[in-house]
Structures are given as C-alpha cells and as structure tokens.
C-alpha cells in the first residue's frame, strides 16, 4: 500500500511556531499580573509596569511583524478545512486586532492601566474616587483611541471592537435583546422573592469568628472535591478575587473575612470553575489560538455553573454543612443543611456585585454595561462617574450606594483597562443554567453524586462538551451542540423561579 501523502504546510508551520512563542509571552504576562496582585511589594509597582509594558510591546510586535501578513495569506491554501483552518481563522482575528493599534498606543495603554490599577487600590482603601480620577481618565482616553482604531479595522462599532477581545463575535444587538428581557423579567421576580422572604423567619447565620486559616483549609478541601489539581495550581489571597496563570499553572485567588465564611468559600468555588476550564483545555492545542478558552461567556459559565448552579443545590449544601461544621467546630441549628440552604438563597438589594445573589446580580452587570458604553462614547465623563453610578444603581436596584467603595470603586476592571468585559458575566450565568440542565439530562446521577461531594460525573460531562472544545467552535456552536439551543434567557429565568419561588 502506498504511503499517504503528507502535504507541506510551511507557512502554517511558521505561524504555529510564532503563536507558540507568543502564547509564552502572554503566559509570562499573566503570571506577572498575578504576582502584582498577590505577592509584589508595594514599592515594586514602577518596575513591574516597565516589565509588563516591555513584554506587551514585544508580543504586539511579534504579532504585527510584516511577515505575518504574508504568512497568513500563504497559509490560506494550506489549511482549507479542519481544526488547523479554525486555528488559522483565530490567528487572523488576533492579527486584525493587533495591527489595528500602533505599538506606541499599546505601550501607553499598558502603562496607564498599571498606574490606574495601582492608584485604584489606594482610592479603594480610602473610598475616595477623586484619588484615581485622573488615572482612569487617561485609561478611558486611550481606550477610546484603541476602540476607534479597532472599529475601523474590524468593521464593527467601537464597543463591539472591545467586546470582541473578550467574547469573539459578540454583538450589541444580541446583548441588548437578552438584557432587555432580563430588565423586564427580573424586577417582578425580585419583588415576589422579597415578599416571600419577608413572610419567613430570617435565615440564621453561623456565628464566628471564622479563622482565616480554617477557611483556607476548607477552601482547599472543596477545591480538591471539585477536581482542582494542586500539582498544577495554587490558592492565594488578594483584594479582588480572580483566576490567572496558564493551563498548566493555574493561579486561583480569593479574599476571606473572619466575620463569615459564606462569601469566601463561594468565591473560591467560582474561581475554581474558571481554573477547571483552563486545565481542561485540549493539550494537543496548547499554546495555539484554537486551544484557548472560547471567550469570557463560556469562561464565566464555568465559574457560575460551579458556584451558582451546582454548589447551591440542596444536595451540595447538605454536604457542605457537614464539612463546614467540622472545619469550624460549629454546633446548633445554624449549621443544619436547611439553614445553610436558606442562607445561600437569601436575596437582597445590595451594593456589591461579587456578593450579589443570582437575581440581583444581572442588574449589577447591566448597570456597568450601560455606564461603560457611555464612558466609551463620551456621553459620560469620568469625573461624573460616581454620580451616574449612584443614580443608575438606585433605578435598577432600589438602593443608593453610601460611598465610593460600595459604588464605582468596587471593581478593578475599568481601572485595569478592561472595558467591554462586563456583559459576559450575565451572559455566562445564562449559559451556566443551560449547560447544567443539559448535564443533568445527560447524566441524572450527577445531583446525587454532588450530594456526596463527588463532582467527577459533572466534570466528565463538561470536559468533552465545553472544556475540550476550546476555541475550535463558536460560543453558540458549543452551546447548541451541548444543550440544543443558542444562548438565551429561558433556562436562566426558569432556574431562578424553581430555586427562589418554589410552588
């Protein structure tokens, strides 16, 4: 039998080699960013900004070098179909983003974001927006330039050009349609839930203090139960929880308060969902665009699936109440599963997004979505942000933030240069509801296993249906294949009614 012909793909080979090196640079930037937030001494900010800016420029120049355009053109005939063709398409998308923005603007944005993020920490500690106003103004000014350049290159609106960095192919009409449904449906659900709660005794919270060391140990135990591999990751503490690093070295961070363990443990579960997605990406596509996470909608779906869908079920909360009682030496009615279930299902009109319940959380996101569009367009000036934030917060959530730290200073995103990111949180919540329901249909034993502290069945379903698909398909293609439908509000709203308004 004649040996099969192996077609030569020199241009595609060269591109894959370049993107492999580019991935390493981005990975190094990710670890440096983790270090800045977790371990770097306060005096290291200036040199870290220099390091990050230098690596950012190197990565940008590697992607925008003149020969890359030639290689992309030549590779078109080498990868007509299949996964390598998908990888090539992702290369083109990244190249289009990069070539739209000159290196000097990339460097200026990196420096401005580093300076703004550092000043945000001080402003947040003092609850004084004025301390970071100038730095954020510069970030917004430069981001407008970036959005304008990318908008022209990609043929989209300026906001969609930024959104595409976080959710490839994301569109304003789609988001506005989804969010319009939520804006109409959530307020009456919220009113009904609050009315139902008012007729029940207040949930009894376990009494602290809850030592941070005990919370840390419990968190590690829960992470291992979820499937986290500590040989390829770690848990640390920081001001604003996040998941960073790279798939083979995943860095999870959280924050603890000795006043309560509810927020800390769920924050850990949330970030572990992100980490499991990263670890589950296909090794054979490691360091290639097609092997990256699809986008932040699916990334957020994985964190919210673990935190909100799976870990707030009565089954898991029954299990969690037992190990939490052991961890903190608790005793009494407040530690019973039913009490913990009511505590985790409590709904209120609050100020802090990361502590919000499932019903009010989308309203927090819609607020940020509206404001960041206004900042980008120039309809809202940075100096007016605190007032605009408080006004819209009052309209959407019915309460007014009493200070900046519970208002426009609570999130790091804008101060770190991430504008266009916020819609993915709530879109991720909707995707999480769709995926979890599909997983339960696919394996009805998942819930009972979760009640025993066994997430292997859920993870076994997520690996082939979401994690291993990486960027080899679009978000909707992945959702349709896994759940039978594109992203929508139906599963999410049905989930809220089942959990918070049981008949």
**Closest of 277, 270, 259 to residue 219, by C-alpha:** 270
Q: Could you give phi then psi for residue 262, rounded to 5 degrees? A: -60, -50
Q: Which strand (E) or helix (H) includes residue 252?
A: strand 249-254
Strands 233-237 and 249-254: parallel
Angle at the Cα of 453 (from 449 to 455), degrees rounded to 5? 60
Which two structure tokens, joined as six digits, stand for 329? 């030496």
Q: Could you give phi then psi for residue 435, rounded to 5 degrees? A: -70, -40
Rg of the chain taking only CA atoms, in angstroms: 23
Angle at the Cα of 444 (from 439 to 447), degrees rounded to 5? 85
Query: The sheet that has 233-237: what strands, in order across it?
Result: 233-237, 249-254, 243-246
Q: How far is CA 170 from CA 164, 338, 427, 483, in A?
A: 6, 40, 11, 19
Active site residue 271: yes
**Closest of 242, 238, 309 to residue 278, by C-alpha:** 242
Q: What is the residue whose two structure tokens read 């730290």?
A: 405
**Closest of 245, 151, 206 to residue 333, by C-alpha:** 206
What is the rounded (10 degree) CA torsion for 399, 492, 274, 294?
-120
User: Could you count the other beta carbons within 10 Å of the beta carbon of residue 472?
Assistant: 18
Q: Which of 138, 167, 271, 278 is catalytic?
A: 271
User: Could you count the other beta carbons within 10 Å of the beta carbon of residue 163?
Assistant: 26
Strands 243-246 and 233-237: unpaired
Active site residues: 271
């Amino acid at each position: 039998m004649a040996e099969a012909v192996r077609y030569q793909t020199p241009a595609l080979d060269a591109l894959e080699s370049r993107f492999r090196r580019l991935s390493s640079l981005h990975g190094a930037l990710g670890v440096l960013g983790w270090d800045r937030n977790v371990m770097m001494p306060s005096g290291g900010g200036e040199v870290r900004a220099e390091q990050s800016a230098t690596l950012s420029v190197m990565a940008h120049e590697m992607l925008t070098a003149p020969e890359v355009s030639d290689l992309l053109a030549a590779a078109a005939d080498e990868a007509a179909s299949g996964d390598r063709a998908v990888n090539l398409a992702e290369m083109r998308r990244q190249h289009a983003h990069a070539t739209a923005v000159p290196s000097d603007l990339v460097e200026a944005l990196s420096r401005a974001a580093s300076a703004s993020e550092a000043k945000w920490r001080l402003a947040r500690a003092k609850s004084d927006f004025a301390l970071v106003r100038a730095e954020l103004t510069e970030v917004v000014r430069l981001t407008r330039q970036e959005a304008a350049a990318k908008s022209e290159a990609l043929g989209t609106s300026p906001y969609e050009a930024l959104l595409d960095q976080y959710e490839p192919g994301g569109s304003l009409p789609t988001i506005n349609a989804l969010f319009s449904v939520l804006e109409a449906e959530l307020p009456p659900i919220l009113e009904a839930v609050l009315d139902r709660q008012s007729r029940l005794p207040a949930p009894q919270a376990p009494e602290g203090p809850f030592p941070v060391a005990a919370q840390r140990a419990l968190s590690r135990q829960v992470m291992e139960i979820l499937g986290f591999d500590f040989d390829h990751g770690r848990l640390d503490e920081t001001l604003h929880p996040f998941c960073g690093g790279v798939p083979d070295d995943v860095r999870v961070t959280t924050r603890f308060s000795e006043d309560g363990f509810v927020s800390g443990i769920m924050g850990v579960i949330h970030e572990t969902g992100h980490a499991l997605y990263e670890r589950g990406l296909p090794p054979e596509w490691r360091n290639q665009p097609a092997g990256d996470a699809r986008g932040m909608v699916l990334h957020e779906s994985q964190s919210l699936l673990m935190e909100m869908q799976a870990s707030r079920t009565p089954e898991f909360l029954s299990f969690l109440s037992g190990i939490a009682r052991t961890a903190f030496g608790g005793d009494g009615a407040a530690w019973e599963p039913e009490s913990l279930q009511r505590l985790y299902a409590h709904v209120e009109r609050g100020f802090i997004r990361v502590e919000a319940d499932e019903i009010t959380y989308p309203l927090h996101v819609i607020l940020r979505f509206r404001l960041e569009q206004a900042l980008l367009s120039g309809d809202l000036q940075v100096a007016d942000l605190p007032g605009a934030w408080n006004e819209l917060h009052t309209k959407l959530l019915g309460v007014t933030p009493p200070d900046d730290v519970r208002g426009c200073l609570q999130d790091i995103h804008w101060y770190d240069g991430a504008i266009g990111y916020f819609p993915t949180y709530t879109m991720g919540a909707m995707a999480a509801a769709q995926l979890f329901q599909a997983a339960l249909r696919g394996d009805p034993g998942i819930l009972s296993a979760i009640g025993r502290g066994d997430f292997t069945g859920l993870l076994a379903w997520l690996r082939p249906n979401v994690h291993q698909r990486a960027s080899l398909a679009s978000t909707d293609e992945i959702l349709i294949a896994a759940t039978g439908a594109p992203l929508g509000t139906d599963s999410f709203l049905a989930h809220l009614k089942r959990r918070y308004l049981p008949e």
